[in-house]
Chains A and B, each alone.
Chain A
Amino acid sequence: MMMRRRTTLLSGCTALVLALGATACGGGEPVAAGGGDQALSGQTVSVAGVWSGSEQKNFQKVLDAFTEKTGAETRFVPTGDNVSTVVGSKIEGGDAPDVVMVPQVGVLQQFAKKGWLRPLSKTTEKSVDSGFASVWKKYGSVDGTFYGLYFKAAHKSTVWYSPEALDQAGVEAPETYDDMLKAGRVVSDSGLAAFAVAGQDGWTLTDWFENVYLSQAGPDKYDALAAHDIAWTDASVVKALTTLGKLFKDEQLLAGGQKGALNTDFPGSVEKVFGPQAEAAMVYEGDFVAGVAKDQFGRAIGEDADFFPFPAVGGGEAPVVSGGDAAVVLKDGKHPEAAMKLLEYLATPEAAAVWAKAGGFLSPNKDLDPASYGDDVTRATAESLVAAGDSVRFDMSDQAPAAFGGTKGVGEWKILQDFLRDPSDPEATAARLEAAAAKAYED
């Protein structure tokens, strides 16, 4: 126990430093590209997005491939975390980027409502109709007009586990939620806690809830709840909370019990499973867990870190909760023609393959050859996402007003944290959620 202090302290520091550093962003140098002998040479398309680091580098590869094809030069403008503020001020300042990669469906709707967006071209629409499940087009459309092309997707229905721990306990990846809890109890008999839950970060709890709810109540109810057409006091919500509470109230299943879970942040929860001193066998979160397990703890993905899809709850379909970055074209951009061409290119499997090869990327494009992905686990994640077809749903808390679904210490985050602290009364929790939602959705 004592030996671990130094390493965890160190990684705690790193996490904090990283969190602070993440707000800084690099400068947007123009990236010139040569070989332009086609129609668009001489034009420069500027693309704004939240990406930095390796994501920015890999996206640049896609842009370079576009340059090679069309001759148009490209410029990536990093926006930092707050896309809507940065893009808004750029539009006001007369320096609007041509294309923006929008990270949340709520922001896309906000842009469309402000009249900033240009409907996408017929060619793009056609590629999306043929290559994407229709749900992606739906999330890219506002009031029936198609504005956003989902280029990069996230898969938030993956439970990551340490194969060694499951082998030690002699259990297999479960197919249903109840099996998962049963497997968890066997794991806990073996001396390891079953789940590391990152209760200090409210968003991981909303993701838990969304998966259970989507599977148990079905996509229609999910959509209704996301739009707040049904109240959070609905029986289906209480049922989902009760189901989730079965896990939360079982001290054997949570690493450190409820108190330990509330004191664990997301990187900490990955560390509890894949770090040097394993304390738990499984951690639920999106496909990005693999990145943390690989980069921070040196796990070989597919060998000593693997995933199973979030299991089906109560006879429903297994849920696939997702999210993604949508490319949109701004009305105020200076090169609308080249921008449209870029989106037409991004809609092709060819463009997706460029980033898929580089890694850290999932495409919702059905036509993309799975062989393009660099490793088996990413391929399996991508296949699961594509196979889910129209039953894919976007993260509900991302669709809600930020005051309800996206703010530390208030709204859904806080209420689910209180639920984790004391899961005994799902009805009261549902009532509190409804009160908070009613307030946030009001305007």
Chain B
Amino acid sequence: MTTALVKDAPSTTPPAPAPADGRRRARRRGRLVALLFVLPALLLLGALVVYPVLFSVGRSFYDASGTRFVGGDNYAEIFRDPATLKAIRNTVIWVVVAPVLLTGLGLVLAVLVEKVRWATAFKLLMFLPMAVSFLAAGIVFRLAYDEDPDKGVLNAAVVSVHDVFEGASPYPTVRARDGQGLHKDEDGSYRTEAAVSPGRTVALPLVGLPAKDLPDDAAPAYGAAAREAGPDELRGTVYLDFVPGGGGKQGEVDREESGLPGMTVEAVRDGKTVASTDTASDGSFRFTGLDPGSYTLRLPAANFAAPYDGVSWLGPTLVTPAIIGAYLWIWTGFAMVLIGAGLSTLPREALEAARMDGANEWQIFRRITVPLLAPVLTVVFVTLVINVMKVFDLVYIIAPGPVQEDANVLATQMWLVSFGGGNNQGLGSALGVLLLLLVVPAMIFNVRRFRRSQ
């Protein structure tokens, strides 16, 4: 704006009369008028940009209270504090990954959209997220990424897909009662500590299932547990060793206690499974026709496997990629529309000529569209780099408390140390100056490119 004003102002003054000093006077007056026009803008720029920048630079040399001059200590602290280093690392990831992905996605979508019939509707749809505030988008994604599949839609999808292939275990919360003859193996299965042999009846006590979650067909185990085994059969009961309201004897089948139906039981001999069966509704099972000898009974881990609870999107490792994903959702439309506009100004003849010469679509895209679009792509890319540097709201909202430090970028870290509890505005200013220094190259590049194109 300002440059335009400066340039235009002299030319808009009426042409001066012939005499030389008159022309000079007119030119001086012209300059004065120009200055007058520029003054409001300059004042605003000075008050809102130049002064705060200088103030921050000055403030960054003072300590938290702002009274003691500490020289470069704050800048040294930036590279000493692990939390700030992590923020710098994350900012680098953001700057490297997000603009590249966005420009690439935007380019691909823009080229493809040209070829579909409902191009405008599609563009509109892609552009819609731009109209959503970052705060609202952040809240939506915070919920979508939630780790609990009952809340987060992404994990709900992941879990349902997984469960289609794997199937959920019948008793995920159930475990053996400690010290009652069952031993837990590494893989989560249980086996009897003592060897058993045909002719015996064994009781396998489990706990950890609320009475209301018992399967509908579960029946009391007392009768089955009392039944004697024949000489060549191995009998037993898998039961819930817990009497509602307490009481009952641990490790023994009490009258009120229920069997656990549908539990897989295996008879193992010398490390090999020789027979397998499922428990009946009263929790009873029996193996017949076993060779005499001693066996171990095993409850395979599949009975107890904890439900698959999806991906921890907002865990320390995935949180930054997850937030970048939310950022892509918002900005892809912007990149696509801008690149699309550039695409529509491409000289059709070049494309036609290439087609005539027998180039395929990929070759056209690679050798003609992309090189011709390069200026637009650079504008989009550099704009995004600048935008990504100052990303704040999404990171602040989406990252839950425990992983906030793992997700922080320079902008959030700057705010946190200055106002979010740290109240060290000296260090905060130093971070602000660092951020400024990082943005400056992109700015210079953009301004120079802008000049050249004029």
Which A residues form the contact surface with B (CB < 8 A)?
A: 1-2, 4-5, 8-9, 12-13, 16, 167-171, 186, 188-192, 199-202, 252, 259-260, 262-263, 402-403, 406-411, 413-414, 417-418, 421, 443
Q: State whether A406 and B421 are in contact (beta carbons under 8 Å apart), knowing that A8-B150, A168-B211 are contacts in the complex.
A: yes
Which of B151, B175, B408 is A8 in contact with, Cβ under 8 Å? B151
CA distance A1 to B175 in the complex (A): 20
| Interface mask (B396-425 → A, CB under 8 Å = 1, otherwise 0) | 000111111100100000001000111110
A191 lies within 8 A of B208 (CB):
yes
A4 lies within 8 A of B150 (CB):
yes
Which of B213, B402, B424 is A191 in contact with, Cβ under 8 Å? B213
| Interface mask (B144-170 → A, CB under 8 Å = 1, otherwise 0) | 001111110000100000000000000
Chain B residue with minimal CB distance to A203? B401
B244 lies within 8 A of A168 (CB):
yes
Distance (Å) between the CB of A85 and the closest chain B CB? Answer: 10
A409 lies within 8 A of B405 (CB):
yes
Distance (Å) between the CB of A225 and the closest chain B CB? Answer: 20
Distance (Å) between the CB of A168 and the closest chain B CB? Answer: 6
B312 CB contacts on chain A under 8 angstroms:
259
Chain B residue with minimal CB distance to A262? B402
A12 CB contacts on chain B under 8 angstroms:
143, 146, 151
A171 CB contacts on chain B under 8 angstroms:
246
Best-buried of A191, A252, A417, A443 by chain B (most CB within 10 Å)? A191
A5 lies within 8 A of B402 (CB):
no
B213 CB contacts on chain A under 8 angstroms:
191
Q: Tell me, yes or no, whether B274 is within 8 Å of chain A by CB.
A: no
CA distance A263 to B242 in the complex (A): 30
A411 lies within 8 A of B401 (CB):
no
**Which residues of B from 93 to 140 have beta carbons under 8 Å from A?**
139
Q: Tell me, yes or no, whether B209 is within 8 Å of chain A by CB.
A: yes
Q: State whether A421 and B246 are in contact (beta carbons under 8 Å apart), knowing that A8-B148, A168-B211, A189-B177 are contacts in the complex.
A: no
A189 lies within 8 A of B208 (CB):
yes
A189 CB contacts on chain B under 8 angstroms:
177, 207-208, 242
Distance (Å) between the CB of A137 and the closest chain B CB? Answer: 29
CA distance A169 to B423 in the complex (A): 49
Q: State whether A190 and B242 are in contact (beta carbons under 8 Å apart), knowing that A5-B156, A9-B151 are contacts in the complex.
A: yes
B401 lies within 8 A of A201 (CB):
yes
Q: State whether A443 and B151 are in contact (beta carbons under 8 Å apart), knowing that A169-B246, A189-B177, A201-B401 are contacts in the complex.
A: no
Q: Tell me, yes or no, whether B273 is within 8 Å of chain A by CB.
A: no
Which of B151, B173, B400, B405 is A410 in contact with, Cβ under 8 Å? B405
B421 lies within 8 A of A407 (CB):
yes
Q: State whether A170 and B247 are in contact (beta carbons under 8 Å apart), knowing that A407-B416, A407-B422, A410-B421 are contacts in the complex.
A: yes
A421 CB contacts on chain B under 8 angstroms:
402
- Would you give 28 A-B contacts (Cβ < 8 Å), ordered by A? A4-B150, A8-B148, A9-B150, A12-B143, A12-B146, A12-B151, A168-B244, A169-B246, A170-B244, A170-B246, A186-B246, A189-B177, A189-B208, A190-B242, A191-B208, A191-B209, A199-B402, A200-B400, A201-B401, A262-B402, A263-B400, A408-B401, A409-B401, A409-B404, A410-B422, A414-B401, A443-B63, A443-B65
Q: Tell me, yes or no, whether B337 is within 8 Å of chain A by CB.
A: no
Which B residues form the contact surface with A (CB < 8 A)?
A: 63-65, 83, 139, 142-143, 146-151, 156, 173, 175, 177, 207-211, 213, 242-247, 307, 312, 399-405, 408, 416, 420-424
Distance (Å) between the CB of A142 and the closest chain B CB? Answer: 20
Which of B63, B143, B147, B156 is A263 in contact with, Cβ under 8 Å? B147
B150 lies within 8 A of A5 (CB):
yes
CA distance A420 to B149 in the complex (A): 22
CA distance A268 to B400 in the complex (A): 14
Chain B residue with minimal CB distance to A12? B151
CA distance A13 to B403 in the complex (A): 21
Which of B83, B139, B401, B408 is A417 in contact with, Cβ under 8 Å? B401
SS class, residues of chain B in contact with chain A: loop
Q: State whether A403 and B211 are in contact (beta carbons under 8 Å apart), knowing that A168-B245, A186-B246, A191-B242 are contacts in the complex.
A: no
CA distance A169 to B207 in the complex (A): 12
CA distance A259 to B309 in the complex (A): 11
B209 CB contacts on chain A under 8 angstroms:
191
Chain B residue with minimal CB distance to A417? B402
B402 lies within 8 A of A414 (CB):
yes
A16 lies within 8 A of B401 (CB):
no
A410 lies within 8 A of B402 (CB):
no
CA distance A411 to B417 in the complex (A): 12
CA distance A169 to B246 in the complex (A): 5
B147 CB contacts on chain A under 8 angstroms:
259, 263
Which of B245, B402, B405 is A170 in contact with, Cβ under 8 Å? B245
B243 CB contacts on chain A under 8 angstroms:
170
B246 CB contacts on chain A under 8 angstroms:
169-171, 186
Chain A residue with minimal CB distance to B172? A1
Best-buried of B149, B156, B175, B422 by chain A (most CB within 10 Å)? B422
Chain B residue with minimal CB distance to A421? B402
B402 lies within 8 A of A403 (CB):
no
Distance (Å) between the CB of B213 and the closest chain A CB? Answer: 7
B403 CB contacts on chain A under 8 angstroms:
409
A9 lies within 8 A of B143 (CB):
yes
A410 lies within 8 A of B208 (CB):
no
B151 lies within 8 A of A5 (CB):
yes
Given contacts A9-B150, A408-B420, 13 further A-B contacts (CB under 8 A): A168-B210, A168-B245, A190-B210, A190-B244, A191-B213, A191-B242, A259-B312, A403-B424, A406-B421, A407-B416, A408-B401, A414-B405, A443-B64
A1 lies within 8 A of B422 (CB):
no
A443 CB contacts on chain B under 8 angstroms:
63-65
B416 CB contacts on chain A under 8 angstroms:
407, 409-410
Chain A residue with minimal CB distance to B407? A409
A414 CB contacts on chain B under 8 angstroms:
401-402, 404-405
A168 CB contacts on chain B under 8 angstroms:
210-211, 244-245
Chain B residue with minimal CB distance to A10? B151
B151 CB contacts on chain A under 8 angstroms:
5, 8-9, 12
A190 CB contacts on chain B under 8 angstroms:
207, 210-211, 242, 244
B421 lies within 8 A of A403 (CB):
yes
CA distance A13 to B416 in the complex (A): 25
Which of A2, A13, A186, A260 is B143 in contact with, Cβ under 8 Å? A13
A169 CB contacts on chain B under 8 angstroms:
245-246
CA distance A260 to B151 in the complex (A): 13
CA distance A418 to B156 in the complex (A): 26
A9 CB contacts on chain B under 8 angstroms:
143, 150-151
The 4 closest A-B pairs by CB, nearest first: A170-B246, A407-B421, A409-B404, A191-B210
B421 lies within 8 A of A192 (CB):
no
Chain B residue with minimal CB distance to A13? B143
Best-buried of A1, A169, A409, A418 by chain B (most CB within 10 Å)? A409
B408 CB contacts on chain A under 8 angstroms:
409
B143 CB contacts on chain A under 8 angstroms:
9, 12-13, 16
Distance (Å) between the CB of B117 and the closest chain A CB? Answer: 36
CA distance A411 to B424 in the complex (A): 14
CA distance A332 to B62 in the complex (A): 31
CA distance A323 to B211 in the complex (A): 40
CA distance A2 to B150 in the complex (A): 7
CA distance A171 to B242 in the complex (A): 13
B245 lies within 8 A of A191 (CB):
no
Distance (Å) between the CB of A109 and the closest chain B CB? Answer: 15
Distance (Å) between the CB of B329 and the closest chain A CB? Answer: 19
Q: State whether A16 and B421 are in contact (beta carbons under 8 Å apart), knowing that A8-B148, A189-B177, A190-B244 are contacts in the complex.
A: no
